[in-house]
Structure 1
Amino acid sequence: MKEARAFSETLNFKKLKQMYLFALITIAITILLSQLLIQHNINSQLNDSKLINISGKQRMLSQKLAKEILILNSDADSSNDQEVISNIKKTLALWKFTHEALQKGNDSLKFPETKSIHLLELFNAVQPNVNYIEKATTQYLIDREKHISHTISQQEVKGILDNVALFVTKMNVIVGQYEYEALEKVTKQRNIEYGILSFTLLILLLEFFFIFKPTNKKIEILISKLLSSERRAIKLARDTEALSIIKENSVKELKSLNFAMENTLLYCRISPLGKIIHMGDKFSKLLQYNPSFDADKNFSKAITTVEKEQLDIDRIIAEKQRSGWQGELNTTDKNGNTLWLDMAMIPVRIKKEELELLVICFDITVRKNAELEVERLNRENIIEKINQQKIISSKIVENQENEQNRIAREIHDGIGQMLTGLKFSLESINLDDKEKSAQKIEYLKKLSLDIIKGVRTATFNLMPPELSDHGIVSSIAKLTLELGKLTGKNVQFYNKTDFDQRLDSLIEINIYRLTQEAINNAIKYAESSHIIVQLSHSNKILSITIDDNGKGFDVASVEKKRNSESGMGLLFMKERVQYINGRAFINSIPGEGTRITFNIPI
């Protein structure tokens, strides 16, 4: 012991403490500097990515401006001019604002005012095109509103398109410059971080060789001497103190066990007659049981205040005092609240003739309440689904009935009346009067063609012959063509992957009806002028996408209104596509348009 004490005195702990403190401060400073630098560069990179994104958006806005001008210039119907002109003005204003923010900086968008010399040169180079596009577009809109010569407008449109093309090309260079400068920043940050990491590793290496390794060696020697001294001391005191140490350890273990049981377990010791011998502190707090004030120490009355529940507990104690019992109890505490306990009664023999019951419980009230709540929610969910199915079924029957009534009216009012006219015209033909007979025969030919057209229209609405004869691609192509002719809308169909497979008839019918409903909704509700239907496929999925430029809607709010016509329409559409194991994706932006995509496994 003296040798160890003398060796420990030679260790300079004050100097060791100073060295440790210096090393820790150095590491902390390097980590702090590294984090500050990283956060600064991350914020800078966020602004850089935003700049690149907005610069790329400028190209899209210029192209959108050119597209809207082309639409306005090619639209012979002047009734929509004001709406298109308003959209062009909005696009022009947004394009101009964004360009000025990129060129001169903007505090709200966090765009810097300062730029590199190369970026300034690129912005100066694109500025003439920006000025021309802004001036020419404004002049073109004024001419369009005043109905000035079409030839002048064509010249202005051509000038705008040429400058938009130049603008897009130059903006590509600007975006590339932004990306190049952002890459330079990232490279610089990486080199700095490597430097900080190298410095930190150097500090750790120096600490290891000059602090940890020498100190560890000295401490190992000290511990070795201390252990040797301890072994000699234990050997000298073993005979006299062995029993005392064992007894002390046993007392500590019993105290620890008793403390753990009192404060962590819900436990109680009761007699075979149900009287409380001892109850743990945690169990007492849960049951609000105080042995000093509660004269009646009956276990069942401490557990619950309901007489029926007390009788059940007394019965369990009487029947299971020798075999033991385990189960869940639903009881009522002194405040009238429901209490669920997972209880185990274990018989313990203290002496030969003395028997006790050790009761160990777990409070499962929260879990049971959660289970009951889950059951209640499941029941409500099932009831809600049943009600939705009832609504869907009734709506389907109603739609079928309306479709049948519509077809009946078409046959009665259209085809029926034409057939009646045909009958009367045939009966009124007088073969002796050849001139009038020839006129009536010509009229009958025209009437016969109208009847044939009406029959074809009715059968097309029921089931287009192309669907059964040629498949889904041909039927959708015919559907878009016919709807475009009937409504005057620009309805286009594209088979992007040249899909030509035949599917199950039930799948083809549902795909046709889904596409028909989506196009009709775009025409009827969205007030669209341009509708594009695209079909594509992979090895496992067939996709049909319907895009329109209508007024759009808020998908979330419409889906919440399950009782409205639009809300039920979306629900029916999703139910129908799920019927053929497909999925529907509906994306819409108010004021910009809607995209509906159906993915069906093939």
Structure 2
Amino acid sequence: MKKSISETAKNFNFKKLKQRYIFALVTIAITVLLSQLVVQYNINTQLDDSRLINISGRQRMLSQKLVKEILILNTFTNPVKTAEQIQTIDSTISLWTTTQNALQFGDKKLNFPKEHSPKLTELYQNISPNLQQIIQTSEQIVQNRKSGGSPVLNQPLIKRVLYNQELFLKKMNQIVGQYETEAFQKVTLQRNIEYAILAFTLLVLLLELQFIFKPTNKNIEELITKLLTSEKKALKLAYNTEILSESKENSVKELKSLNYAMENTLLYCRVANDGTIIHIGEKFAKLINYTAFHADKKFPEVLTSVEKEQHFLSRIITEKQKSGWQGEIHLTNKDNESTWLDLSMIPVTIRKQESELLVICFDITVRKNAEQEVERLNAENIAEKINQQKIISSKIIENQENEQNRIAREIHDGIGQMLTGLKFSLESINLDDKEKSAQKIEYLKKLSLDIIKGVRTATFNLMPPELSDHGIVSSITKLTVELSKLTGKNILFYNKSDFNQRLDSLIEINLYRLTQEAINNAIKYADSSHIIVQLSHSNSLLSITIDDNGKGFDLATVDQKKTSESGMGLLFMKERIQYINGRVFFNSILGEGTRITFNIPI
């Protein structure tokens, strides 16, 4: 036995164990540091790429803004407004050209690169003629208006601007797409590097588990069992011989060495079969606040102050004395503080009829608290989404009720009154008085026409016949014309790509309602005088853009006020466009105007 224990202790080299642990920790630290460096580099790279893509996208908006301002300039006859609009155009041209030069030739302040890929260099060379054409033609238009020239003379120039602006947008879309492609390639490369680092880290952890932790745990268990057995036998044989006394002394030294290692590395204790604590490690004693005052208490009573938890531990000790037990337990001390332990009870045989339990624990409180916090946050997120859906549902019902009340009022106050007047007029006709009868008949004709007009207006508000008969383009054209007549606002519609396809009826009605709501918001809330609706499409995407020159709004502030009327309006637009698998983009500048873009796959 003495020889076996000595060999085990010799094999169990703490210096080697320390070196292994240091190596493991250094390896993990290096991989974590390397991963963080890669993550930080990825974040900086993605920020630069996103800024480039954002500025490139804004160039498209500025070109469209310039065209809108030129169109507006050509409608002004007031010299003061004309001068103000010219200043606005000059400012837009300056910002547009400055940003375009920064994108093409680089800018240190904006952190834009001077060098581009061959594809981007070619795209920038292709777009330069269109940019120069737009700028030169815009300056000619401005100069013509400055010199008091007629707006009619600018029509050919405006057509030239529109033609080049459309080419500019297409080429700028290619540039933005190339930026996105290159950014995606960078992200893919960086993701693969991170995956490689993660795989290496997992491999290191697996190797550490296989070649460090598992052998160490096995050696500790073997050594503890053999040392405990050796200690008992040495105490008995020490009275009879000096040789056994020397063996005892050596065993005690080995036990002290092992005990020192266990005291400072493990949460452990030795427990008798009746639950009495034989010995408890220093680290474990500090964790559960064990003192000499608790010496007469049993292990479950020291571990927790909750009676239910004490019964659970006592039952495990009683039932698992021979088979052992492993699992996670929750403990509560006298200060009502919670602790989670990963606890293992290992049966150890001292003599033939004598045994005890070796308890080894790991403190997993931090991990458990993190899991509970994640569960709490998930529950709060679900509750918030449910509440938001309730608000949306109530608002939808409220809007439907308001719409029904409005239609009822229109029919009652308008059509109903006219029908009543028609009835009384018919009853009052005296056929004997032909002259008055003829006058009343003429009045009844006019009243009938008003009734027909009222019915058509009500049905148009409910479902425009153009939408079901001719499609989205015809219905939006009719909508802008009617609203322009009713409100006196300058509302224009451009079918830029000559779109003439029919879509699913559900998509068409939702697109129509979204466009109608965006125009009504520009009229009602933005105090706009000019509203431009543009429709364009590609092979896979239909896009509708509504621009106004109103007072604009702060998108971040509106998003925070989700229960306000403006916040719910944006939320309804997002919900409705998502219903038809589309996307909506809001771009607003305080004091300058708002752009709303709807994109729908076709």
Counterpart CA distance in 2 for 1:100 and 1:514 is 37
User: 1:317: how far off?
Assistant: 1.5
Counterpart amino acid of 2:363?
Answer: D
> Which position in structure 2 is the counterpart of 1:594?
595
In structure 2, relative to structure 1, the CA distance for the partners of 1:477 and 1:421 (3 Å cut) is same
In structure 2, relative to structure 1, the CA distance for the partners of 1:159 and 1:98 (3 Å cut) is farther
Counterpart CA distance in 1 for 2:99 and 2:472 is 45
Counterpart CA distance in 2 for 1:373 and 1:86 is 56
Contact 1:483 1:491 in 2 (8 A): no
Counterpart CA distance in 2 for 1:376 and 1:70 is 55
1:215-254, aligned counterparts within 5 Å? none
In structure 2, relative to structure 1, the CA distance for the partners of 1:376 and 1:452 (3 Å cut) is same
> Which position in structure 1 is the counterpart of 2:226?
none
SS in 1 for 2:537: strand
> Which position in structure 2 is the counterpart of 1:521?
521
Counterpart CA distance in 1 for 2:502 and 2:98 is 50
Contact 2:473 2:495 in 1 (8 A): no
> Which position in structure 2 is the counterpart of 1:341?
341
> Which position in structure 1 is the counterpart of 2:455?
455
Counterpart CA distance in 2 for 1:375 and 1:101 is 48
Counterpart amino acid of 2:276?
Answer: K
Counterpart amino acid of 2:272?
Answer: S
User: 1:272: how far off?
Assistant: 0.7
In structure 2, relative to structure 1, the CA distance for the partners of 1:498 and 1:331 (3 Å cut) is same
In structure 2, relative to structure 1, the CA distance for the partners of 1:474 and 1:254 (3 Å cut) is farther
Counterpart CA distance in 1 for 2:157 and 2:502 is 45
SS in 1 for 2:85: helix
Query: Unpaired segments of 5 or more residues in structure 1?
Result: 1-45, 112-129, 144-148, 169-249
TM-score by length of 2: 0.60
1:240-279, aligned counterparts within 5 Å? 261-279=262-280
User: 1:403: how far off?
Assistant: 0.8
Asked if residue 75 in structure 1 is aligned to residue 76 in structure 2, the reply is yes
Counterpart CA distance in 1 for 2:278 and 2:483 is 89
SS in 1 for 2:549: coil
In structure 2, relative to structure 1, the CA distance for the partners of 1:132 and 1:273 (3 Å cut) is closer
Counterpart CA distance in 2 for 1:531 and 1:136 is 20
SS in 2 for 1:342: strand
User: 1:353: how far off?
Assistant: 1.6
> Which position in structure 2 is the counterpart of 1:545?
544
Counterpart CA distance in 2 for 1:469 and 1:139 is 44
Counterpart CA distance in 1 for 2:506 and 2:68 is 40
Counterpart amino acid of 1:514?
Answer: L
User: For residues 56-96 of structure 1, what are the alpha-carbon distances to aligned partners after superposition, in whole Å with 9 as ceiling and x for unaligned?
Assistant: 97x99899668635532423478965763563464477689
SS in 1 for 2:351: coil
User: For residues 511-550 of structure 1, what are the alpha-carbon distances to aligned partners after superposition, in whole Å with 9 as ceiling and x for unaligned?
Assistant: 33223222222332233412224253545xx534223133
- Greater CA drift, 297-306 or 457-466: 297-306
Contact 1:518 1:546 in 2 (8 A): no
Contact 1:588 1:595 in 2 (8 A): yes
SS in 1 for 2:515: helix
Counterpart CA distance in 1 for 2:427 and 2:267 is 103
> Which position in structure 2 is the counterpart of 1:384?
384
1:512-591, aligned counterparts within 5 Å? 512-528=512-528, 529-536=530-537, 538-539=539-540, 542-551=541-550, 552-580=552-580, 582-590=581-589, 591=592
For the aligned residues, what is the CA RMSD?
5.0
Contact 1:518 1:596 in 2 (8 A): no
> Which position in structure 1 is the counterpart of 2:414?
414
SS in 2 for 1:323: coil
Counterpart amino acid of 1:265?
Answer: L
User: 1:368: how far off?
Assistant: 2.1
Counterpart amino acid of 1:359?
Answer: V
Counterpart CA distance in 2 for 1:309 and 1:562 is 46
User: 1:433: how far off?
Assistant: 4.5
User: 1:307: how far off?
Assistant: 4.6
Counterpart CA distance in 2 for 1:98 and 1:138 is 23
User: 1:340: how far off?
Assistant: 1.2
Name which one, 1 or 2, has greater alpha-carbon Rg. Answer: 1
Counterpart CA distance in 1 for 2:513 and 2:63 is 38
Counterpart CA distance in 2 for 1:92 and 1:493 is 23
- Greater CA drift, 585-594 or 475-484: 475-484
Counterpart CA distance in 1 for 2:369 and 2:431 is 93
Counterpart CA distance in 1 for 2:546 and 2:586 is 10
> Which position in structure 2 is the counterpart of 1:396?
396
Asked if residue 489 in structure 1 is aligned to residue 487 in structure 2, the reply is no
In structure 2, relative to structure 1, the CA distance for the partners of 1:401 and 1:257 (3 Å cut) is same
Asked if residue 366 in structure 1 is aligned to residue 361 in structure 2, the reply is no
Counterpart amino acid of 1:313?
Answer: L
Counterpart CA distance in 1 for 2:158 and 2:538 is 35
User: 1:394: how far off?
Assistant: 1.8
In structure 2, relative to structure 1, the CA distance for the partners of 1:133 and 1:589 (3 Å cut) is closer
TM-score by length of 1: 0.60
Counterpart amino acid of 1:304?
Answer: T
Counterpart CA distance in 2 for 1:469 and 1:73 is 35
> Which position in structure 2 is the counterpart of 1:200?
none
In structure 2, relative to structure 1, the CA distance for the partners of 1:260 and 1:75 (3 Å cut) is farther
Counterpart CA distance in 1 for 2:410 and 2:387 is 34
User: For residues 289-322 of structure 1, what are the alpha-carbon distances to aligned partners after superposition, in whole Å with 9 as ceiling and x for unaligned?
Assistant: 356x753363223322445433432333223323
In structure 2, relative to structure 1, the CA distance for the partners of 1:554 and 1:253 (3 Å cut) is farther
Counterpart amino acid of 1:550?
Answer: N
> Which position in structure 1 is the counterpart of 2:88?
87
